[in-house]
């Protein structure tokens, strides 16, 4: 019996044996459906992570075996050339070094790919942790995804701010607290908070336009993360994108609502990436 069948059986028994109202039953049933949806989503992420880990281990074993086989083949080839007196010993040694050098570069490329696969797996874990911490929030209000190896947390304008304002709402502050808790547990992560608006002209007080508003909203979110939830300021970047990177058409109400958003971007660790790109030492 699966989780849902058990729940139906249990609630049916309660309806028959007690005075549980239909309204209360419907409320509990709705909450259960949301819980089951979150559980299924987390289960899918877990399965994807386990698949990635298994593939990573298999690839590592395969690459190591191929490298050893290639090295053995190179040695046999050079010995055969020497026996045929086609090349001198010094020429044979030079060829051997060249072959080893090629093998080293090939191993480097494979190691780079393995490192990138490992980074993808770690990103998947971080996304799973974020979704688990946030819980049952409408996907239209907050969306967490990975695009081209970068994690994006998109939060709708209506969840964070009142119309034309840049003060974070109390409800949004609680959501930011859940995100902050995960980010604090990953001290190596730096991130950028981006404010985005639609194309409707805006001007209020010292704010000259939508660009000013988007920057002010970004700094408001960062101050909440820093002052209320103790995220180190050195790990955060504030950015205002204004109306210039829309994700939908500004010709419709729904499109403009989608474009009014705040996005948290987990910044790539460029120092570690550049270390991976360093050229491997050449064989001498």
Of 11-20, 27-36, 56-65, 185-194, the range with the lowest mean pLDDT is: 11-20
For 62-66, 169-173, 175-179, which range has the lowest pLDDT when averaged over its residues?
Answer: 62-66
**Nearest 10 degrees: CA dihedral of 30, 36, 39, 41?**
-90
Report the pLDDT value the prediction gives residue 170, as an integer from 0 to 100.
86
Residue 279 has pLDDT above 90, yes or no: no
- Looking from the CA of 91 toward its CB, the CA atoms found within 13 Å total 8
- Separation between Cα atoms, residue 134 and residue 141, nearest integer Å: 12
At residue 166, the 3 state secondary structure works out as coil
Percent of residues in the chain assigned helix, strand, coil, to nearest 5: 65, 10, 25
- Contacts of residue 85, defined as CB under 8 A and 6 or more positions apart, other chains included, come to none
The torsion angle over the Cα atoms of residues 36, 41, 47 and 53, rounded to 10 degrees, is -140
Is the predicted pLDDT of residue 6 greater than 60, yes or no?
Answer: no
**pTM over 0.75, yes/no:** no
Most confident of the ranges 51-55, 148-152, 268-272:
148-152
Judged against a pLDDT cut of 80, whether residue 231 lies above it is answered with yes
DSSP structure string for 53-103: HHHHHHHHHHHHHHHHHHHHHHHHHHHHHHHTTSS-HHHHHHHHHHHHHHH
Asked if residues 184 and 230 have their Cβ atoms less than 8 Å apart, the reply is yes
195 bridge partner residues: 240, 262
Is pLDDT larger for residue 113 or for residue 159?
Answer: 159
Cα dist from 276 to 16, 113, 122, 147, 270, whole Å: 65, 10, 16, 21, 10
Which of 78-87, 107-116, 135-144 bottoms out in mean pLDDT, i.e. has the lowest?
78-87
Q: Residue 233: pLDDT above 70?
A: yes
What does the pLDDT average to over 97-109? 61
Tokens encoding 218: 């970004």
pLDDT band at 240 (very low <50, low <70, confident <90, very high): very high
Q: What pLDDT score does 174 carry?
A: 87
Which carries the bigger pLDDT value, residue 150 or residue 231? Answer: 231
DSSP summary character for residue 167: S
**Structural tokens at position 27:** 């409320």
281 confidence band (pLDDT: 50, 70, 90) = very low
Using the predicted structure, report yes or no on whether residue 232 has a pLDDT greater than 90: yes
pLDDT computed for residue 124 by the predictor: 81
Question: CA-CA distance, 183 to 76, in Å (whole number)?
Answer: 53
Inter-residue contact 198 to 256 (CB < 8 Å): yes
150-267 is a CATH 3.30.1330.60 domain: yes
Mean pLDDT of 107-133: 70
**Per-residue pLDDT tens over the stretch 105-118:** 566 556 656 656 66
CB 193 within 8 A of CB 155: no
């Amino acid at each position: 019996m699966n989780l849902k069948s058990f729940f139906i059986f249990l609630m049916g028994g309660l309806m028959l044996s007690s005075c549980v109202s239909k309204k209360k039953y419907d409320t509990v049933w709705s909450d259960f459906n949301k819980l089951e949806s979150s559980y299924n989503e987390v289960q899918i992420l877990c399965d994807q992570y386990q698949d990635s880990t298994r593939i990573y281990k298999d690839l590592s074993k395969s690459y190591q075996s191929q490298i050893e086989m290639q090295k053995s083949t190179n040695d046999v080839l050079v010995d055969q050339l020497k026996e045929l007196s086609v090349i001198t010993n010094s020429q044979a040694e030079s060829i051997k070094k060249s072959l080893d050098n090629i093998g080293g570069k090939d191993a480097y490329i494979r190691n780079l790919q393995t490192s990138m696969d490992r980074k993808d797996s770690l990103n998947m874990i971080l996304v799973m942790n974020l979704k688990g911490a946030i819980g049952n929030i409408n996907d239209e209000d907050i969306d967490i995804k990975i695009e081209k190896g970068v994690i994006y947390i998109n939060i709708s304008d209506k969840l964070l701010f009142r119309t034309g304002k840049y003060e974070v709402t109390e409800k949004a502050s609680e959501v930011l607290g859940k995100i902050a808790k995960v980010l604090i547990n990953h001290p190596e992560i730096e991130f950028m908070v981006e404010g985005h608006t639609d194309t409707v002209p805006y001007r209020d007080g010292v704010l000259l336009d939508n660009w000013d508003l988007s920057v002010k909203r970004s700094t408001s979110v960062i101050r909440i993360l820093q002052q209320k939830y103790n995220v180190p300021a050195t790990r955060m970047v504030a950015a205002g994108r204004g109306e210039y990177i829309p994700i939908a058409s500004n010709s419709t109400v729904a499109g403009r609502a989608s474009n009014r958003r705040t996005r948290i971007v987990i910044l790539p660790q460029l120092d570690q990436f550049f270390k991976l790109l360093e050229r491997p030492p050449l064989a001498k």
